[in-house]
Amino acid sequence: MSEEVPFELGYRMPAEWEEHKGTWISWPKNPLTFPEDILPSAEIAYAQMIKALCDNEIVHVLVDNGEYEKRVIKILAESGVIADEERIQFHEIPTGDVWFRDYGPIFVTRAGADGGDVAFTNWGFNAWGNKYDDLLMDAKIPEQLPLGNMRRFKAPMVLEGGSIDVNGLGTCLTTEQCLLNKNRNPGLGRDGIEKSLGEYLGATNVIWLKEGIAGDDTDGHVDDLARFVNPNTVLCAVDENESDENYGALISNLRILEDATDQDGKRLKIKKLPMPGKVDYHGQRLPASYTNFYIANNAVLVPIFKDKNDGKALKIIEEHFPDRKVVGIDSSALVAGFGAIHCVTQQEPFPNKKV
């Protein structure tokens, strides 16, 4: 593990829409996250995600063992997907749960005369502020992945991938509720966190939103609130229902973004994205949000919830990705586990192209 600083070596975290070599996911199986009544629906959602991804990038699927691999292959076949090794690669690496975005590596790239290269940053993972002791094992996943001789950098703080979003040019979105929470990095203040984001991801301009949405056990991950869709445009979640408990927090975040600037001091373009109505499971409010989409090489995978705003959200996202197919995936089962499509995916980019 290198002790050098990636940014000083020319590395940066690329935007999600930059070309992927592959997508990494972990197959669902944790009975506490996905009980028997929702596991089959969660697996169908995974099959739909893989089907949308595998024609244009490799899909890496972590499974506990060979029996799980056989199960996945069968489910994929039922969805019309043949699991050939060129498109879908299985890795027998046991995991505690599916939230690869948060415990997996965050890849960085740099340009070079030889075509550039890709490295990864390995951040601390403490199961969202030590909420789930049985999931602390997933902190070891980055070092278990078959990434060959890829250069690795150990970052000096706890950070989940869902707590940040970047435009690839130096600007990063995050929230105070998460990154300044005492259950993550009690010895680091805002300045120390910004220093690490700059040194390890190239995030030289950090925009701090406030609070996350109701039902979110991650303490306000930004991927449920606001997402870059190009270098200067952000889709921001808003709730049209003034009586909803999310209304005030989302308006506050919207106002912050409207006043924010990018890494060059230019105002960002802020577009509103509606929220679904209240989604719950056995009476518990769930963190359902359309901003939890995943930008792939040829598609954008968008969580939908059998809600009246599904179509409206899909249309808005389509307007910002005219060169990609926008695929709505019923994520009612996934969000019952307190996450959705962005939470369970992590992109591995190709080497950096100069911008």
Residue-wise pLDDT for 66-113, tens only, equals 999 999 999 999 999 998 888 999 999 999 999 999 999 999 999 986
Token pair 């962005």 in the structure block, residue: 342
Architecture of domain 7-349: 5-stranded Propeller (3.75)
Token pair 């506050």 in the structure block, residue: 252
**Tell me, what's the pLDDT at 351?**
87
Number of other residues whose CB lies within 10 A of the CB of residue 238: 18
Number of other residues whose CB lies within 10 A of the CB of residue 67: 9
Question: What is the token pair recorded at 246?
Answer: 């999310």
If residue 213 lies in a helix (H) or strand (E), which one and from where to where?
none
For the residues 310-323, what does the mean pLDDT come to? 98
**Tell me, what's the pLDDT at 112?**
80
Q: Tell me the H-state helices in the chain.
A: 39-53, 66-78, 100-103, 127-130, 141-144, 176-179, 190-201, 247-259, 310-320, 332-336
Higher pLDDT, 305 or 111: 305
Give the model's confidence band at 229: pLDDT under 50 very low, under 70 low, under 90 confident, else very high.
Answer: very high
Which residues have a Cβ under 8 Å from the Cβ of 297 and sit 6 or more positions away? 19, 20, 56, 57
Which amino acid type is present at position 354?
K
Please check the confidence at residue 2 and state whether its pLDDT lies above 60: no
Q: What is the mean pLDDT of the chain?
A: 96
Give the model's confidence band at 259: pLDDT under 50 very low, under 70 low, under 90 confident, else very high.
Answer: very high
Residue from 172, 178, 236, 343 carrying the catalytic annotation: 343
Q: Give the separation between CA 347 and CA 297, rounded to whole angstroms.
A: 10
**With pLDDT > 70 as the criterion, what percentage of the chain qualifies?**
98
For the residues 280-294, what does the mean pLDDT come to? 97
Please check the confidence at residue 326 and state whether its pLDDT lies above 90: yes
**Is 343 considered catalytic here?**
yes
For the residues 199-220, what does the mean pLDDT come to? 98
Q: Where are the domains of the chain?
A: 7-349
Nearest to 170 by CA among 135, 149, 198: 198
**Tell me, what's the pLDDT at 355?**
45
Number of other residues whose CB lies within 10 A of the CB of residue 151: 18
Give the model's confidence band at 211: pLDDT under 50 very low, under 70 low, under 90 confident, else very high.
Answer: very high
Question: What is the token pair recorded at 285?
Answer: 């409010």
**Tell me, what's the pLDDT at 114?**
75
Please check the confidence at residue 1 and state whether its pLDDT lies above 70: no
Please check the confidence at residue 51 and state whether its pLDDT lies above 60: yes
Residue 200 in contact with residue 264, Cβ under 8 Å? no
For the residues 14-34, what does the mean pLDDT come to? 97
Q: Give the separation between CA 340 and CA 224, rounded to whole angstroms.
A: 9
Q: Give the separation between CA 101 and CA 180, rounded to whole angstroms.
A: 19
- Give the CA distances from residue 96 to residues 157, 194, 208, in Å, rounded to whole numbers and listed in that order: 21, 30, 30
For the residues 126-144, what does the mean pLDDT come to? 98
Q: Give the separation between CA 104 and CA 145, rounded to whole angstroms.
A: 9
If residue 215 lies in a helix (H) or strand (E), which one and from where to where?
none
